[in-house]
């Protein structure tokens, strides 16, 4: 069974939810600004892609290239060590 709230408890709950909402809106705005910054660094999007899709492709390509370079560097170090 659900208990009835007093007007004071209801006011307290409402104030808490308003503060929580304000915090979430501020956090959302920070994420939106960071996302927009990344997206608008894509000067030329690929045909039939959104800026988001093109940015994601660039990031994935860079990550894959970096990973393969790390592997090549490790292989060269291992070879120098005689492993």
pLDDT tens, the chain, 83 aa long:
778 889 999 999 999 999 999 999 999 999 999 999 999 999 888 899 999 999 999 989 888 886 665 555 556 555 655 55
C-alpha to C-alpha distances, 37 to 24, 44, 50, 60, nearest whole angstrom: 20, 15, 15, 18
Domains of the chain by residue range: 1-41, 45-83
pTM of the model: 0.59
């Amino acid at each position: 069974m659900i208990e009835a709230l007093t007007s004071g408890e209801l006011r307290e709950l409402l104030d808490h939810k308003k503060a929580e909402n304000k915090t979430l809106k501020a956090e959302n705005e920070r994420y939106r600004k960071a996302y927009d910054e990344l997206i608008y660094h894509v000067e030329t999007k690929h045909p039939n892609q959104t800026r988001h899709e093109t940015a994601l492709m660039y990031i994935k390509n860079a990550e894959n290239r970096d990973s393969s370079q790390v592997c090549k560097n490790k292989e060269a170090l291992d070879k120098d060590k005689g492993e």
